[in-house]
Amino acid sequence: MIQTNSDAIIRLFHIHKRYGKSFALKDVTLDISKNEFLFVTGRSGAGKTTLLKLLYLGEPVSEGQVLIDGMNLSRIGRSRIPLLRRKFGIIFQDYKLIPTKTVYENVALVLEAAGRKPRLIDKKVRSVLRTVGMEDRMSALPQSLSGGEQQRVAVARAAVGDPKIILADEPTGSLDEEAAGIIMDYLDAFHARGTTVIVATHDKALLQRSTSRVVHLRDGQLWSNESA
Amino acid sequence: MKRFFKRAINDIKENRFLTAITVVTIALSILIASAFALFFVNAGDLLTQWQKGIRMMVYLKPSTSEAARLDTKFRLQSIAGVQEAVYISKEEAMDRLKGQMPNHSALLENLKENPLPDAFEVTLQAAARDSAELQFLSERIQTLTAVEEVEYGRQWIQRFTNIINLFSIAGYGIGALFFMATVFIVANTIRLVLYSRRDEIEIMRLVGATDRFIKIPFYLEGMIQGGLGTLIGLAVLYVGYFSLSSHFQPSLASGLLTLRFFPATICLLIIVSGTLVGWLGCWISLKQFLK
């Protein structure tokens, strides 16, 4: 039985994740509060991406329980997975933009999938693209954008649905220092508006610019849980 | 729905090549299956037309008296299924034969005795024109005392009916095969589209799209492809029918047979079926892909 913590929006309780016989995560217990900015660090293969995937049911847990904003993921039906995912805005290292759709369409997709009205979609998409400085490139296709620009579109897509939680998996992994700084500024801005932000990264430079809590994963185990 | 339709049209534009393959495949399948169906429709017409002309010749025994002949006529006309019984004396029969064989009239003139029997030419009601009914009637008439023989081309009718039945069974079989093949091809083409767009579908799911949101445009695509392919298949069939019928119609018209295309309702039914085939192919693929 998990004890309730009214401040936690995410609760991981003795989580194990196995791929065959090898463990990607071992006995991870972690609470993440509402409006927290959390870094998850560790080397490649430490289990950072797996941890994030368990949160939006990109992968099922092997053992343990995950609670997201009151939803117990081990009891969630297939039909409710989209509702769970709408609580998240997800930023991927490889951006995951749809190459055949324009910047505008990529961002609008989130609201279309949520069944929002066209007028609202247009208003919100323009607004968020303005925020990330991509308003002038709305009609461009992703392949015509630089890496930094593509990641800004990915940030816009993650933020457009006003999610409760933003998950960023190595958001600056393939960006130069300046572009990385811009992306982190946007994440700070969304955090300042009340969004919970979780950043998985192995970039120590990112940690140095922040005072947020850092959890460290090593070989699938939570190694340390501290403020930066 | 408008939004889904717009997405489906965009998807079709983005996957022109695969869409074209699907549409052409459906068009060919519909063309072949419909060509068979059209053949059966016209062969059926031919059979019906031919059956209308069926006469039964009831030959009387040589010694039949006038009274027996009148009695036989009365009895024939009272049998259910008989429309009319017209008496043809052997003299009249000989005149007819001479008329039909003008080049051999001298041969017929030299006959010492008229070998033809007196007869009744029996026309039949529509309900009595099928093979089994004819057989029954023939046996019934045969029991009349004055009747020597009944003739109605039984073997021809039986053979023609058998051929039509065989073609019908083959037609249903071929139709079913084409239906399955078309569904299979559509399903595989849609699967190719799905694989080529699996990243896009995965991204949609990650941003919270429901299966319904992902599926509906694909269903619409499948239905558009099915409908379009069927329209093209029918159009090609009509062009083929038109050129064939204009070529053969003058010679067929003398035999009172008119070639015809499918009526509008059947065309509509074929288009709806083709559209459903597109939907079904899509349904099968999506069911497997989005497991």
Interface of B with A (CB under 8 A): 3, 14, 199-200, 202-210, 213
Cβ–Cβ below 8 Å for B206 and A90: yes
Residue A174 has pLDDT above 90, yes or no: no
Q: Where do the DSSP E strands lie in chain B?
A: 55-60, 82-88, 119-124, 147-151
Of A58, A113, A118, the CB nearest to B209: A113
Distance CA B276, CA B289 (A): 20
State the pLDDT confidence band at B237, using cuts at 50, 70 and 90.
very high
Q: What would the mean pLDDT of B233-250 be, rounded to a whole number?
A: 87
pLDDT digits (tens, 9 = 90+) for A30-51: 999 999 999 999 988 889 999 9
pLDDT digits (tens, 9 = 90+) for B73-85: 999 988 988 888 9
CA atoms within 13 A on the CB side of B166: 6
All residues of chain B having their beta carbon less than 8 Å from the beta carbon of residue A110 are 207-208
> Are A165 and A88 in contact, with CB atoms under 8 Å apart?
yes
Distance CA B142, CA B50 (A): 24
Q: Give the gap in angstroms from C-alpha A228 to the nearest C-alpha of chain B.
A: 30
Mean pLDDT of chain B: 85
All residues of chain A having their beta carbon less than 8 Å from the beta carbon of residue B213 are 112-113, 115
CA geometry: angle B167, B171, B174, nearest 5 deg: 135
Residue B279 has pLDDT above 50, yes or no: yes
All residues of chain A having their beta carbon less than 8 Å from the beta carbon of residue B205 are 82, 85
Cβ–Cβ below 8 Å for A96 and B199: yes
Cβ–Cβ below 8 Å for A90 and B204: no
Q: In sequence order, what are the beta bridge partners of B147?
A: B60
What pLDDT score was predicted for residue A1? Answer: 46
pTM of the model: 0.71
Residue (of A218, A160, B117, A216) closest to A227 by Cα position:
A216
pLDDT digits (tens, 9 = 90+) for A98-129: 998 999 999 999 999 998 999 999 999 999 99
pLDDT digits (tens, 9 = 90+) for A69-100: 989 998 898 889 999 999 999 998 889 999 98
Cβ–Cβ below 8 Å for B199 and A56: no
Residue (of B38, B256, B53) closest to B157 by Cα position:
B53
Interface check for A96 against chain B (CB to CB < 8 A): the answer is yes
Candidate from A52-66, B139-153, B225-239 with smallest mean pLDDT: B139-153
- Cβ-based neighbour number of residue A8 at 10 Å: 20
Q: What is the greatest pairwise CA distance in chain B?
A: 103
Of B3, B200, B205, the CB nearest to A98: B200
What pLDDT score was predicted for residue A226? Answer: 63
Its sign, for the CA torsion A73, A76, A81, A87, is: negative
Residue (of B257, B223, B261) closest to B243 by Cα position:
B261
Q: Higher-confidence residue: B80 or B189?
A: B80
Distance from the Cα of residue A185 to its chain's centroid: 15
Cβ–Cβ below 8 Å for B213 and A113: yes
pLDDT digits (tens, 9 = 90+) for B154-175: 777 778 778 777 877 887 888 7
Cβ–Cβ below 8 Å for B208 and A118: no
Of A82, A90, A97, the CB nearest to B209: A82
Residue B54 has pLDDT above 50, yes or no: yes
Q: What is the greatest pairwise CA distance in chain A?
A: 51
All residues of chain A having their beta carbon less than 8 Å from the beta carbon of residue B291 are none
Cβ–Cβ below 8 Å for B204 and A86: no
Of A58, A83, A113, the CB nearest to B207: A113
All residues of chain B having their beta carbon less than 8 Å from the beta carbon of residue A56 are 206
Residue A5 has pLDDT above 60, yes or no: no
Distance CA B65, CA B60 (A): 10
pLDDT digits (tens, 9 = 90+) for B81-105: 888 899 999 888 888 888 887 777 7
Cβ–Cβ below 8 Å for A113 and B199: no
Residue B184 has pLDDT above 60, yes or no: yes
> Are A8 and A65 in contact, with CB atoms under 8 Å apart?
no
Phi, psi of B274 (to 5 degrees): -60, -40
The residues near B217 (Cβ < 8 Å, ≥ 6 apart) are B4, B5, B7, B8, B11
Interface check for A116 against chain B (CB to CB < 8 A): the answer is no
What pLDDT score was predicted for residue A167? Answer: 96
Cβ–Cβ below 8 Å for B208 and A112: no
Q: In sequence order, what are the beta bridge partners of A198?
A: A38, A167
What pLDDT score was predicted for residue B267? Answer: 93
> Are A155 and A186 in contact, with CB atoms under 8 Å apart?
yes
What pLDDT score was predicted for residue B256? Answer: 58
Cβ–Cβ below 8 Å for B208 and A113: yes
Distance CA A137, CA A153 (A): 10
Distance CA A138, CA B197 (A): 22
Q: Give the gap in angstroms from C-alpha A60 to the nearest C-alpha of chain B.
A: 14
Chain A residue closest in CA terms to B13: A100
- Residue at token pair 């220092």: A177
Cβ–Cβ below 8 Å for A109 and B209: yes
State the pLDDT confidence band at B287, using cuts at 50, 70 and 90.
confident
All residues of chain B having their beta carbon less than 8 Å from the beta carbon of residue A98 are 199-200, 203
Interface check for A120 against chain B (CB to CB < 8 A): the answer is no
pLDDT above 70 coverage of chain A, percent: 96
Interface check for A85 against chain B (CB to CB < 8 A): the answer is yes
Cβ–Cβ below 8 Å for A98 and B213: no
Alpha helices (runs of H) in A138-192, residue ranges in sequence order:
147-159, 177-192
